[in-house]
């Protein structure tokens, strides 16, 4: 075989050619290795970035979770502070919060090793920085993160010496935002010198917004707590907080027998008039002034609170003798008595003060009630004075409670009675009406309305009692109506209290009582006092108009004692005016009284109202009221309130009092 026809392997293994080929392969290998390393480097970078990004997401998630779940601001921020510190591998973190003075105040919330950082923490304790001062102050003023590195720069900070001593090299401080307000600052320190990291700063600003929400929520909660325990008008502690303080004070008294707790119950005299004449806004200003004055006369350890309206309470703690109680009471009285100026007008306000000294076993609520009772007694005794709750007062209250308990069962036990006082026609002497008056046969004693009606009003018992009175009176009216021996059927008048008028059941009750006894509504005269339209004129007038629409008659009782203005009188749906007995008593002696009454009678006649003179006790009084032209007369001189059977006897006789009116005329 000719060798030249084939390319032999030897031909390709020329040393130079092999060498070139090996070199090429080596270059190729080197290139492949470089490509691999390049690819590895890229992957590393991407992996690291991904890791960092993930860690940031984890950090933000931790912060958001802590922000949402934490019960208190310090817990939440402590958790986040440590998470952020660990994320950055920095040495320590610290929280600053803005206070009312708009300064950043160092808190006790830290992250990092407490032992290693003890000196630096101690150097930061109690510090406060205004805008622009120190790191927190700079963040407060600039409203953005501050990054500082290098010992030189850091040592110029207000805490420079401590920063140096702790060998801190980098600081990052950023704001906590609530809306657009900086409410706090987080600061972090590293013990290495680190260049500003824009991504980290962005992340921290994001965290600052999360944590700002926590601060905001806490502030709102604090405000709510304050609102729940303080009176909005005066900023004083309210009943809730006063009871709490008092309970604690009583517990301390229990532990230390030398201490006593006293409660002052203060009620302003005549405050209602200020409110009524000047309006509530002025009344509120008076209350604020009174609150300010009261707070200046108490001792630093005492607490002033407002219960409601014009009722204030002072809790005096740790009294070692009784003397200060009297001194405080006198100072209170003097402080309130100074004229108060509102809207350029001066007002004189006085205070009735009740004081209760705690016995060992007293509960907070009971003590306030005792002070209240003593205050009530001070009012009874003429206002503008103080009374100390005593055993005597305790007995009075016990008696009152006793009456209340007994009164609750009085209707069921059939102890209530009605007596009737005749009202006579002053021209003919005929009985034209009778007023139903309540009596309570309690064991052997016959109790008069003055003994228990006030209590019935206070306790609301007046409503069932009033219902019984109405039914009983109409039942009696039915008997007289059916009595053929009685020619002239009288009206029957029944008193309605303000409390009854406010009872939504009043209308249905009156309607069903009229129906049950088949009574003629026009025979029922409902007596109300002027005070009905005093508290809430429109509501009072509405109820009276509704009652009138049932066909009943309305009388204004005790006329002349209240404050009803004539313009209300014009709208009052009444047909009868009963002039108060206080006028009648004087009518034959005091010419001025006589003139007033004369004017009232003239006016009533002009308004087409029938007039009744109440409380006629003498022949002279009867003579004058007849002269003045009263239509009807009522009083002891004519007839006392008497049981129904006796009234029936009088009713059967025609004009039983004719002798009175004829002999006088």
Partner 1 sequence: MKGIVFSLLEHLVVSEHGEETWETLLEASGLDGVYTSLGSYPDEDLFKLVGAASEALDAPADDVVRWFGRGAMPLFVERYPQLFSEHDNARSFVLTLNDIIHPEVRKLYPGAIVPEFGFDSSRPQALGMDYFSPRKMCAFAEGLLLGAGVHYGETISIEQPKCMNRGDQRCRLEITFSQKT
Which of the stretches 25-33, 347-355, 442-450, 656-664 binds partner 1 when contact is defined by CB under 8 A? Answer: 25-33
Q: How far is the CB of 155 from partner 1 (least distance, A)?
A: 19
Closest by Cα among 527, 559, 561 to 544: 527
Quick check: 538 binds partner 1 (CB under 8 A)?
no
> Burial of 110 by CB count in 10 Å (0-12 exposed, 13-18 middle, 19+ buried)?
buried
Quick check: 19 binds partner 1 (CB under 8 A)?
no
| 286-321 CB burial, b ≥16 within 10 A, e <16 | bbebbbebbbebbeeebbbbbbeebbbbbbbbbbee
Helix, strand, coil percentages (3-state) for the chain, rounded to 5, are 55, 20, 25
Based on CB atoms, which residue is closest to partner 1, 20 or 479? 20
Closest by Cα among 636, 591, 606, 632 to 618: 636
Based on CB atoms, which residue is closest to partner 1, 33 or 408? 33
Based on CB atoms, which residue is closest to partner 1, 29 or 485? 29
Based on CB atoms, which residue is closest to partner 1, 190 or 349? 190
The binder of partner 1 chosen from 14, 17, 26, 32 (CB under 8 A) = 26
> Burial of 397 by CB count in 10 Å (0-12 exposed, 13-18 middle, 19+ buried)?
middle
Distances in Å between the alpha carbon of 599 and those of 528, 579, 593, 628?
Answer: 21, 12, 10, 10
Count interface residues toward partner 1 (CB under 8 A).
17
- What is the torsion angle, in degrees rounded to the nearest 10, for the CA atoms of residue 422, residue 428, residue 430 and residue 432? -70
Cβ proximity of 452 and 407 under 8 Å = yes
Quick check: 37 binds partner 1 (CB under 8 A)?
yes
Q: How far is the CB of 86 from partner 1 (least distance, A)?
A: 10
Distance CA 419, CA 644 (A): 6
Q: How far is the CB of 163 from partner 1 (least distance, A)?
A: 19
Q: How far is the CB of 154 from partner 1 (least distance, A)?
A: 16
Q: How far is the CB of 230 from partner 1 (least distance, A)?
A: 50
Q: How far is the CB of 157 from partner 1 (least distance, A)?
A: 22
Q: How far is the CB of 114 from partner 1 (least distance, A)?
A: 18
> Angle of helix 462-482 relative to helix 449-459, nearest 10 degrees?
130
Length of the chain: 665
Based on CB atoms, which residue is closest to partner 1, 48 or 649? 48
Which of the stretches 188-196, 238-246, 426-434, 594-602 binds partner 1 when contact is defined by CB under 8 A? Answer: 188-196
For partner 1, the binding residues in 549-578 under the rule CB under 8 A are none
Which of the stretches 31-39, 539-547, 565-573, 629-637 binds partner 1 when contact is defined by CB under 8 A? Answer: 31-39
Q: How far is the CB of 171 from partner 1 (least distance, A)?
A: 16
Distance CA 296, CA 350 (A): 17
What are the tokens at 66?
């802590």
Quick check: 24 binds partner 1 (CB under 8 A)?
no
Q: What angle do CA 383, 389, 391 make, to 5 degrees?
A: 130
Q: How far is the CB of 231 from partner 1 (least distance, A)?
A: 55
What distance, in Å, lies between the first and last C-alpha atoms of the chain? Answer: 182
Neighbours of 619 (CB within 10 A): 12
Quick check: 225 binds partner 1 (CB under 8 A)?
no
Quick check: 29 binds partner 1 (CB under 8 A)?
yes
The binder of partner 1 chosen from 105, 141, 194, 603 (CB under 8 A) = 194
What's the gap between Cα 49 and its chain centre? 58
Cβ proximity of 603 and 581 under 8 Å = no
Based on CB atoms, which residue is closest to partner 1, 52 or 415? 52
268 by DSSP, 3-state: which? Answer: strand
The binder of partner 1 chosen from 24, 36, 226, 408 (CB under 8 A) = 36
Based on CB atoms, which residue is closest to partner 1, 193 or 483? 193
Which of the stretches 28-36, 219-227, 563-571, 656-664 binds partner 1 when contact is defined by CB under 8 A? Answer: 28-36
Beta bridge partners of 313: 265, 305
Quick check: 41 binds partner 1 (CB under 8 A)?
yes
Which of the stretches 29-37, 293-301, 480-488, 546-554 binds partner 1 when contact is defined by CB under 8 A? Answer: 29-37
For partner 1, the binding residues in 42-101 under the rule CB under 8 A are 43-44, 47-48, 51-52, 89
Quick check: 192 binds partner 1 (CB under 8 A)?
yes
Based on CB atoms, which residue is closest to partner 1, 59 or 597? 59
Based on CB atoms, which residue is closest to partner 1, 112 or 560? 112
Quick check: 20 binds partner 1 (CB under 8 A)?
no
DSSP 75-126: HHHHHHHHHHHHHHT-SEEEEEEE-TTS-EEEEEEEES-TTTTHHHHHHHTT
Binding site for partner 1 (CB under 8 A): 26, 29, 33, 36-37, 40-41, 43-44, 47-48, 51-52, 89, 192-194
């Amino acid at each position: 075989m000719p060798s030249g026809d084939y390319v032999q392997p030897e031909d390709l293994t020329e040393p130079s050619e092999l060498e070139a080929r090996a070199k090429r392969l080596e270059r190729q290998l080197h290139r492949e290795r470089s490509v691999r390393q390049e690819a590895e480097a890229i992957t590393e970078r991407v992996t690291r970035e991904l890791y960092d990004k993930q860690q940031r997401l984890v950090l933000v998630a931790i912060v958001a979770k802590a922000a949402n779940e934490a019960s208190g601001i310090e817990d939440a921020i402590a958790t986040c502070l440590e998470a952020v510190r660990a994320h950055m591998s920095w040495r320590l973190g610290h929280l600053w919060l803005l206070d009312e003075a708009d300064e950043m105040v160092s808190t006790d919330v830290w992250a990092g090793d407490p032992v290693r950082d003890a000196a630096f923490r101690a150097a930061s304790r109690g510090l406060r920085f205004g805008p622009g001062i120190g790191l927190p102050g700079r963040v407060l003023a600039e409203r953005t993160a501050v990054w500082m590195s290098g010992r030189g720069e850091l040592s110029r900070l207000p805490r420079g010496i401590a920063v140096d001593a702790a060998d801190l090299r980098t600081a990052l401080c950023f704001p906590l935002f609530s809306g657009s307000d900086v409410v706090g600052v987080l600061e972090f320190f590293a013990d290495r010198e680190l260049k500003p990291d824009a991504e980290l700063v962005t992340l921290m600003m994001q965290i600052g917004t999360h944590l700002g929400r926590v601060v905001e929520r806490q502030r709102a909660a604090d405000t709510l707590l304050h609102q729940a325990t303080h009176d909005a008008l005066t900023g004083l502690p309210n009943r809730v907080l006063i009871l709490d303080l008092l309970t604690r004070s009583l517990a301390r008294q229990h532990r230390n027998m030398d201490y006593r707790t006293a409660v002052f119950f203060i009620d302003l005299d005549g405050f209602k008039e200020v409110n009524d004449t000047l309006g509530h806004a002025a009344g509120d200003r008076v209350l604020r002034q009174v609150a300010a004055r009261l707070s200046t006369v108490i001792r630093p350890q005492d607490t002033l609170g407002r219960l409601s309206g014009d009722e204030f309470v002072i809790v005096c703690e740790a009294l070692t003798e009784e003397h200060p109680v009297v001194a405080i009471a006198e100072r209170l009285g003097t402080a309130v008595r100074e004229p108060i100026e509102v809207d350029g007008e001066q007002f004189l306000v006085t205070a009735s003060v009740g004081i209760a000294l705690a016995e060992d076993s007293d509960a907070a609520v009971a003590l306030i009630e005792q002070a209240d009772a003593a205050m009530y007694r001070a009012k009874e005794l003429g206002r503008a004075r103080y009374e100390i709750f005593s055993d005597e007062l305790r007995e009075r209250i016990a008696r009152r409670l006793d009456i209340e308990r007994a009164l609750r069962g009085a209707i069921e036990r059939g102890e209530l009675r009605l007596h009737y006082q005749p009202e006579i026609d002053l021209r003919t002497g005929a009985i034209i009406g009778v007023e139903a008056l309540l009596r309570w046969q309690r064991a052997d004693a016959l109790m008069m309305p003055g003994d228990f009606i006030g209590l019935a009003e206070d306790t609301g018992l007046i409503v069932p009692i009033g219902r019984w009175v109405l039914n009983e009176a109409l039942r009696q009216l039915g008997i007289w109506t059916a009595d053929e021996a009685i020619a002239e059927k009288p009206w029957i008048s029944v008193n309605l209290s303000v409390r009854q008028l406010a009872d939504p059941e009043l209308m249905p009750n009156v309607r069903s009582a009229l129906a049950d006894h088949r009574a003629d509504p026009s025979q029922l005269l409902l007596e109300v006092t002027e005070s009905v339209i005093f508290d809430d004129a429109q509501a009072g007038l509405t109820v009276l108009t509704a009652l009138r629409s049932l066909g009943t008659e309305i009388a204004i009782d005790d006329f002349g004692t209240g404050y009803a203005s004539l313009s209300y009188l014009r709208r009052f749906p009444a047909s009868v005016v009963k002039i108060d007995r206080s006028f009648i008593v004087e009518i034959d002696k005091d010419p001025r009284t006589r003139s007033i009454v004369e004017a009232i009678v003239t006016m009533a006649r002009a308004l087409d109202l029938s007039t009744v003179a109440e409380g006629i006790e003498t022949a002279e009084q009867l003579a004058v009221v007849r002269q003045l032209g009263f239509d009807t007369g009522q009083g002891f001189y004519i007839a006392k309130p008497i049981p129904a059977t006796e009234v029936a006897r009088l009713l059967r006789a025609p004009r039983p009092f004719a002798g009175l009116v004829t002999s006088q005329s």
